Amino acid sequence: MSLDKTLQQAEEELELWQSKIDNLERRKSDLICSKLDAEEKKKQIAHELCKLNNEHEKLQEEIQRTGQSLKEKLCEKEAEREKLKEQLIELEKELRMNREDCSLLNSKFKIKATLPEKNIKFTKLEESVPTAQEGEDFSKIKCCYVVSPEVSLALQNGQALITFENEQVASKILRIAKHHINLDPGKLDVKTHPVKLGTARKFEVHIDISRKTVKVSQIPEFLPEEQMRDKLEISFSKPSLGGGEVEHINYDRFSGTAVVTFVEKGIAQRVAEKKKFTITLSKETSCSVNVESVQDYSLEKFQTFNGICKRTVMISDIKDDLEEEELQDKLEIHFQKPSNHGGEVENIKYVPKNQYLTAYFEEDVKTT
């Protein structure tokens, strides 16, 4: 091999190694740059980690403070709950006492009265305004019932009640503690007492009876709600069944009831008198429902009072020495005499031996 060729190969080999060295240098530079970038990222990550650690510590402190606050609030709520529980126990106890008092008052003031059933027919005067020309004030029949008290007094034997026509006479009789009754022969000493009446109650019951509305009940669940409402309207609109033009129907399927309002007044009265009304459901099916008038009740002018009967005097310590009628006549004669401060006797009743009597008092009605 010639020297030139050897030098040429050496130069080529040198260039190859020089190229490899350059590549390694470039790679080294790249690695140094990557290392610097990695160290920078490491610093950033370390900074972020430190920041996150600080935030974590702050969150931990916040969680501790919040937990402590919640514990304190929970303790307050527990204390408040215990206090409310004690108050609830006291209120329930007070409620039971109030209910017992209310029950006693209800039993004491409860009014039990059986009024006799009466058939009342409302008619129009011939000269009154025709129904079609009446205003809305005539859409209801207004009734007022005054319930007057009937006060009773239990009498025992040896007692008598005398009612005078004038209350001034009774007042004079009561001023004399003891009266001497002439029995001829003998005399009878008796005592006079005022008649103290028990608690009496007087009130008014106002009833408004609608002339346009009736209440329907016992409606079967035979059809859907809308269809049943239509059947009710059609049936109650038929004059042949006693109905008339319907203004409005309020139907409740669940309770099986309805409130029917007619356009004209007076139809409701006619329908309610029937008590039963036939509803046509289909060509082959019909049903009977109950009808009644719509009535509004109110209790007004309720009064409770007690006092002393002004015209009646009680006589006590009467001995049974005479027959009932004779002794009663002696008493009446004595208390009629003006010389004994007496006056005209309206009524007298003596209770003989081994008998008891209940006297009933009515309110004096002043006439002018």
Ordered DSSP codes for 228-270:
HHHHHHHHHT-GGGT---EEEEEEETTTTEEEEEESSTTHHHH
Length of the chain (residues): 368
| Residue pLDDT tens, the chain, 368 long | 577 788 788 888 888 888 888 888 888 888 888 888 888 888 899 889 999 999 999 999 999 988 898 999 999 999 999 999 999 999 998 988 888 888 777 666 555 556 566 666 656 555 554 555 555 556 677 778 777 767 777 788 778 888 888 888 888 888 887 888 887 777 888 888 888 877 777 788 888 888 889 999 998 887 888 988 898 889 889 888 888 888 989 998 888 899 999 988 888 888 888 899 888 888 888 888 999 988 887 888 877 777 778 888 888 887 766 777 787 888 888 888 888 888 888 888 878 777 777 777 777 665 44
Question: What is the C-alpha end-to-end distance of the chain, expressed in Å?
Answer: 171
DSSP 8-state secondary structure symbol assigned to residue 73: H
pLDDT in the model for residue 114: 60
Q: Report the DSSP pairing between strands 286-316 and 345-350.
A: unpaired
Six-digit token string for 323 = 């027959």
Q: Which residue is associated with the tokens 């919640």? A: 70
Identify the residue whose tokens are 């409860």.
110
CA dist 190 and 234 (Å) reads 79
Question: Which CATH homologous superfamily contains domain 205-300?
Answer: RRM (RNA recognition motif) domain (3.30.70.330)
Q: What is the pLDDT of residue 368?
A: 44
pLDDT tens per residue across span 109-132:
555 556 566 666 656 555 554 555
Torsion, CA 257, CA 259, CA 262, CA 267, rounded to 10: 70
Q: Specify the 3-state DSSP secondary structure of 203.
A: strand
Residue-level pLDDT at 290: 92
Q: Pseudo-torsion of CA 112, 114, 119, 123, nearest 10°? A: -30
State how far the Cα of 208 lies from the Cα of 296, in Å rounded to an integer.
5
Q: Left, alpha or beta for 262 (phi > 0: left; psi -120 to 50: alpha)?
A: beta
Q: Looking at this protein, which amino acid is placed at residue 353?
A: K
Q: What tokens does 223 get?
A: 């059809």
Question: Rounded to whole angstroms, how far apart are CA atoms 221 and 198?
Answer: 54
- Cα–Cα separations (whole angstroms), residue 29 to 25, 33, 42, 227: 6, 6, 19, 95
Which DSSP state fits 342?
-
Q: In this predicted structure, what is the pLDDT of residue 84?
A: 92
What pLDDT does residue 296 have?
84
Phi/psi-derived region of residue 258, left when phi > 0, alpha when psi is between -120 and 50, beta in every other case: beta
**CA 75/CA 69 separation, integer angstroms:** 10
pLDDT at 138: 63
pLDDT in tens, 77-92: 999 999 999 999 999 9
DSSP 93: H
CA-wise closest residue to 214 among 275, 280, 273, 294: 294
Domain ranges of the chain: 19-78, 149-199+306-361, 205-300
Q: Provide the β-strand partners of residue 213.
A: 261
What 8-state DSSP symbol labels residue 194?
Answer: E
Q: Please state, in angstroms and rounded to a whole number, the distance separating the CA atoms of residues 350 and 331.
A: 9
